């Protein structure tokens, strides 16, 4: 299925948090070299920080606050997307964060 506008906004918002955590310039440098790998790596960061409880070592904090809220039913593939559809949505979201 296609990623709807509301879901794309959510993906963009979550990715922006992870990009800020990693540093814009570092992400931009990696993104220029390999958009797909960078997009999937950052999305994995979103997934870990949303899906896992706070005691998981993959969950990041700023001070005592999680960088993304715990959502135990968070889906790696929103809107029942396939790999290519998710890849397109992730690249579109990252383009809007890093290039626009």
Q: Could you tell me the residue ranges of all domains in the chain?
A: 5-98
pTM of this structure: 0.92
Q: How far apart are CA 50 and CA 54, in angstroms?
A: 10
pLDDT tens for each residue of 24-79: 999 999 999 999 999 999 999 999 999 999 999 999 999 999 999 999 999 999 98
The encoded tokens of residue 12 equal 């963009």
pLDDT tens for each residue of 73-91: 999 999 888 899 999 999 9
The encoded tokens of residue 2 equal 């296609």
The encoded tokens of residue 48 equal 């870990």
Residues with Cβ within 8 Å of residue 44, at least 6 apart in sequence: none
Mean pLDDT along residues 14-28: 95
CA 35 to chain centre: 13
């Amino acid at each position: 299925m296609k990623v709807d506008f509301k879901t794309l906004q959510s993906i963009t918002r979550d990715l922006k948090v992870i990009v800020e955590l990693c540093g814009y310039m570092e992400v931009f440098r990696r993104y220029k070299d390999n958009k797909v790998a960078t997009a999937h790596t950052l999305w994995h960061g979103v997934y870990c920080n949303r899906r896992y409880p706070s005691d998981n070592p993959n969950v990041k904090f700023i001070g005592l606050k999680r960088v993304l809220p715990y959502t135990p039913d968070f889906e790696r593939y929103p809107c029942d997307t396939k790999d290519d559809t998710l890849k397109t949505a992730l690249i579109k979201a990252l383009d809007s964060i890093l290039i626009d």
